[in-house]
Amino acid sequence: MAGLDPGLAIPVWLAEDDLGCIICQGLLAWPATLPCGHSFCRDCLKDLWAAGSPGRRRSCPTCREGAAQPPQLRKNTLLQELADKYSRALRELREAPGAAPARGAAAGAAPEPARPPPRRAAQLPAAAQKSITEAGHELEELVEQLVDLVRSLQSQRHLPEPGPDNEGSTRSLLVTPHTPERKLRDILHDLEEIREKLRENLTWKEALEEQPQVELQEGPSSSACRLPDHSHPAPTRTSRFAQWAISPTFDLRSHCCSLEVSEDCRVVTVSRCPQTHLWSHERFVTCQVLCSQAFSSGQQYWEVDTQHCNNWAVGVASWGMRRNQTLGRTEDSWCVEWKGTGQLSAWHMVKETILGSDRPKVVGIWLDLEEGKLAFYSVANQETLLYECPVSASSPLHPAFWLYGLNPGNALTIRPVKV
């Protein structure tokens, strides 16, 4: 970044959310790390716990782990140092040539690094934002090269592809995590997640730059964005699951603050502007949402239109799934997941089963709790089975969704089933 002290430049991979407190939505101040590993402002924790009833467990606001007695709160010096450096770097960027002076600051006085509103990257000088964007794209290209390199190494090792002829060998990969092949797969998965996070941050920032004005809902106090106009085209075929068809609705208590839900609660969209939902322990930290309907018996079938989402997962989960966990990576959740890299997989208990490279435009989910079975179908002129697995309903199961990558405008739609 020309004209700035390299020691104070904000790293392109570092966002305010990485150093933020989910309670006050601001930069960490006197950060305290709980035994579970999550960090918050000390005063925010004290206020939150003080507001609870006497004798109530002092639990983590994110994962709910806690004890009867509140833990001793000690300053996390590393996080405090990072937060201080972030504030100083941000101040240098604001004082760079072309940057607007802080309001209320006296001439020649350094602005106070008080907690600013979220999304401070949108307030950076234009030159600095351009430099960050260019550096981000360069870093994304490097990660892409690493992904290609790991894939090349995989092909050289002649990894077996999943299929009826080598089902046993594929299963052996899943249960032997220390083999070189599995290590390569894990490395590739980590690199793909890094690439998606880079794309997420860059796409979000570019969308904010390109959108001159956000259209707000009518009403003097509304700050939510209008949802895009998504139609619900009716299917032209009659489904063989028609007699069990349902049309579930998204639960407004559970969806992440980066998501919007339509008025009929059947379209969930990655927001183009920050949301201001009140924090709740029922709300997901990541871009996930559950439906309100819960099933502990019987047979149900529903369909999800995935054509307008680049990276997604659909399945079922219990309401007790921890809000900082990921769909398909727990004992109480199952899903089919599409990666933008061209891979369809099934996930449960952190075990991945690769299904192929064909992307289904509509996914049908068949939940048969009479037989303890969950099946996913690709829906076109007819239903084609993608994956089937046993499922247990020790707790009622909800339809569950994950939109990752945070590309603004990405959406999943629960569409009507032709009966």
CATH H-level, domain 6-101+116-123: superfamily = Zinc/RING finger domain, C3HC4 (zinc finger) (3.30.40.10)
Phi/psi at 178 (nearest 5 deg)?
Answer: -100, 5
Q: Which of 198-212, 272-286, 405-419 has the lowest mean pLDDT?
A: 198-212
Give Cα 316 distance to the centre of its chain. Answer: 16
Both tokens of 110, joined, read 């350094």
Q: Which two tokens stand for residue 371?
A: 């037989």
Question: How many Cβ atoms are within 10 Å of 158's Cβ, its own excluded?
Answer: 8
pTM above 0.95, yes or no: no
Q: What is the pLDDT of residues 217-236, one digit of tens each?
A: 333 333 333 444 445 554 45
Strand order in the sheet with 373-379: 259-261, 267-270, 411-415, 299-305, 362-368, 373-379, 383-390
φ, ψ at 260 (rounded to 5°): -120, 150
Domain-wise residue ranges, the chain: 6-101+116-123, 130-160+168-209, 242-415
* Euclidean distance between CA atoms 179 and 175, whole angstroms: 10
pLDDT, position 154: 64
Contact 273, 315 (CB under 8 A): no
Buried b vs exposed e over 167-198: b needs ≥16 C-beta within 10 Å?
Answer: eeeeeebeeeeeeebbebbebbbebbebbbbb
Phi, psi of 34 (to 5 degrees): -80, 165
Q: Which helix (H) or strand (E) holds 92?
A: helix 77-94
Secondary structure of residue 75 in the 3-state scheme:
strand
Give the phi and the psi of residue 349 in degrees, each rounded to 5.
55, 40
Dump pLDDT digits (tens) for 235-287. 455 788 999 999 999 999 998 888 899 999 999 999 877 666 666 788 998 88
Q: Would the CATH topology of 6-101+116-123 be identical to that of 242-415?
A: no
- pLDDT digit string (tens) for 183-192? 777 677 777 6
Q: Which residue has the higher pLDDT, 393 or 351?
A: 351
70-117 per-position pLDDT tens digit: 788 888 888 888 888 888 877 777 676 655 444 333 334 444 444 444
Q: How far apart are CA 301 and CA 375, in angstroms?
A: 10
Paired tokens of 132: 């960050």
Are the CB atoms for 20 and 27 separated by under 8 Å?
yes
Q: How far apart are CA 187 and CA 175, in angstroms?
A: 17
Mean pLDDT of 195-205: 61
CATH (one of 3.20.20.70, 1.10.645.10, 2.60.120.920, 3.90.226.10) for 242-415: 2.60.120.920
Q: Which conformational region is residue 98 in: left (phi greater than 0), alpha (psi within -120 to 50 degrees), or beta? A: left
